[in-house]
Amino acid sequence: MSTDPTAARAIGGSSASAELERLTRLAQRLAPIPPAPQGEIPARLARAQRLMREQGIDALYLHGGTNLYYFSGLRWWASERMVAALLPAQGELFYVAPVFEDGTLRSHLVTAGELYGWEEHESPYALVARELHARDLRAGRLGIDEATPFFHFDGLRQALPDFELVDATGVTRGCRACKSPAELALLQSAKDRTLEVQRSAARILREGISVAEVTAFIDAGHRALGAPAGSSFCIVLFGEDSAIPHGVQSPRDLRAGDVVLIDTGCILSGYHSDITRSYVFGPPSARQREIWDIEHAAQAAAFAAARPGTPCADVDRAARHVIESAGLGPGYSLPGLPHRTGHGIGLDIHEGPYLVASDTTPLAAGMCFSNEPMICVPGEFGIRLEDHFHVTADGARWFTQPSPSIDAPFGDA
């Protein structure tokens, strides 16, 4: 077989070094990565407090992680030691953290607020109770960041017996689900870069190439295009392995005629990309072409259904209808679509709301979703086409254009 079996389709025929050189040159021409939208934090806090008052929440507990970052600008990830911010429904944000982290934490603070420390032998939960009481909050409802580990939740519950601890998702998601123009710009920048890395990854393919080699190239490609941590994740699957949505324990090397499925992303200033491309290394068979075309139609149907006010569930139904009408499924049965059609994306790669039958959240301008109604054919292959869109007042808008066809997966033919 030729080393360039599908050159007309921009698959194979190049090398990792040549493609990294291309990406390095491209990095000089791409628009600069937008800055993190930290100037929006005061408005986020004001909106959170408004939602808290509407929902009868007296204070909001924000644990280390993306909610803490979104509302304060403080990048600090969850551990067994409490680092958190608390936001009263009326009043200023304040922080609770270990005393020995005081210097490091102050150097990372973006949003001003009192910082209260607890020594290693002391209870951070008692400290939270003390500071809430000092603000005349001795009873009421404390909204808990939905990502808070249970043991922290339980510690707070015991320290605050007169409080009702409630899920704060209505506040956190109520603020985070609809992205601002600055957030959309960061998401666009991340996705533009990942699509270019996907394009180059297709060009380095050759018979016998390993998953590890492709994965390493994709990581280097993301770094070349300005993602400082490289790939945030990477799934590379060949042939029958591609029917397993999130990969296999021992992936095999590439063979002629294989479906290639690559799902990867990066992070820019905290915001994620997540793009999947599926195509064939060599001429597609009639079966591969048939399933690819059904997947493509399902993705298009989901996009067309995504309009302001439409329930998330209806977008999932639109994709699933196409797949089931082609004789696949029904429901989650295989061959067919074994999972939801899509997920929200932003500071977390998977965040609510979700494009799934159980989520009736109405779509609203600024919401961002993956669109990936994957079709799995056990023992043969899987096809996942994943692009993301954001909702506008007039309907959905793609961040990246979907693959036009199995014969031109990057629009190059």
In a shared domain, residues 211 and 349: yes
In terms of Cα–Cα distance, which of 370, 220, 221, 267 is closest to 36?
267
pLDDT attached to residue 2: 37
DSSP helix/strand/coil, 168? coil
DSSP 210-241: -HHHHHHHHHHHHHHTT-TT--SEEEEEEGGG
pLDDT attached to residue 4: 42
Per-residue pLDDT tens digits for 341-373? 999 999 999 999 999 999 999 999 999 999 999
| Within a domain: 412 | no
In a shared domain, residues 200 and 52: no
pLDDT attached to residue 383: 98
Beta bridge mates, 382:
376
In a shared domain, residues 161 and 253: no
Task: Decide if pLDDT at 7 tops 50.
Answer: no
Task: Decide if pLDDT at 399 tops 50.
Answer: yes
Beta bridge mates, 261:
237, 278
In a shared domain, residues 214 and 145: no
Last residue of a domain, one of 152, 176, 200: 176
At 334, the pLDDT band (50, 70, 90 cuts) reads very high
Mean pLDDT of 221-227: 98
Which range of residues forms the domain containing residue 298? 7-30+180-398
For the whole model, what pTM was predicted?
0.96
Residue written as tokens 């000089």? 28
CA-to-CA separations, 209 to 73, 234, 249, 379, in angstroms, rounded: 42, 16, 17, 21
Mean pLDDT of 31-59: 97
Task: Decide if pLDDT at 8 tops 70.
Answer: no
Tell me the C-alpha distance between 15 and 347, whole Å.
33
CB-based contact 365:391 (threshold 8 Å): yes
Mean pLDDT of 7-28: 91
| Within a domain: 288 | yes
The DSSP H or E segment spanning 63 is strand 59-63
Tell me the C-alpha distance between 93 and 106, whole Å.
14
Task: Decide if pLDDT at 6 tops 60.
Answer: no
| Within a domain: 1 | no
DSSP 278-299: EEESSSPPHHHHHHHHHHHHHH
pLDDT attached to residue 412: 64
pLDDT attached to residue 9: 62
CATH number of the domain where residue 136 is located: 3.40.350.10
Alpha-carbon radius of gyration of the chain = 24
User: Both tokens of residue 306?
Assistant: 């995504």
Per-residue HEC secondary structure of 389-410 comes to: EEEECCEEEECCCCCCECCECC
| Within a domain: 118 | yes
Task: Decide if pLDDT at 302 tops 60.
Answer: yes
pLDDT attached to residue 3: 41
pLDDT attached to residue 330: 97
Chain CA centroid to CA 347, Å: 7
Task: Decide if pLDDT at 201 tops 60.
Answer: yes
End-to-end alpha carbon distance in the chain: 21
∠ CA 218-244-197, nearest 5°, is 15
In a shared domain, residues 247 and 332: yes
Per-residue pLDDT tens digits for 127-186? 999 999 999 999 999 999 999 999 999 999 999 999 999 999 999 999 999 999 999 999
Task: Decide if pLDDT at 108 tops 80.
Answer: yes
The number of domains in the chain is 2
User: Both tokens of residue 408?
Assistant: 């031109």
In a shared domain, residues 132 and 214: no
Q: What is the mean pLDDT of the chain?
A: 96
- Amino acid identity of residue 97, one-letter, is A
Task: Decide if pLDDT at 317 tops 90.
Answer: yes
DSSP helix/strand/coil, 166? strand
Tell me the C-alpha distance between 11 and 15, whole Å.
11
CB-based contact 387:208 (threshold 8 Å): no
Cis before 245? omega within 30: no
* Spatial CB neighbours of 199, under 8 Å, sequence gap ≥ 6: 10, 410, 412
Chain CA centroid to CA 180, Å: 16
In a shared domain, residues 107 and 188: no
Phi, psi of 403, deg, nearest 5: -60, 130
- Provide the 8-state DSSP code for 380: T
DSSP helix/strand/coil, 85? strand
CB-based contact 276:237 (threshold 8 Å): no
In a shared domain, residues 349 and 387: yes
In a shared domain, residues 119 and 256: no
Last residue of a domain, one of 140, 158, 176: 176
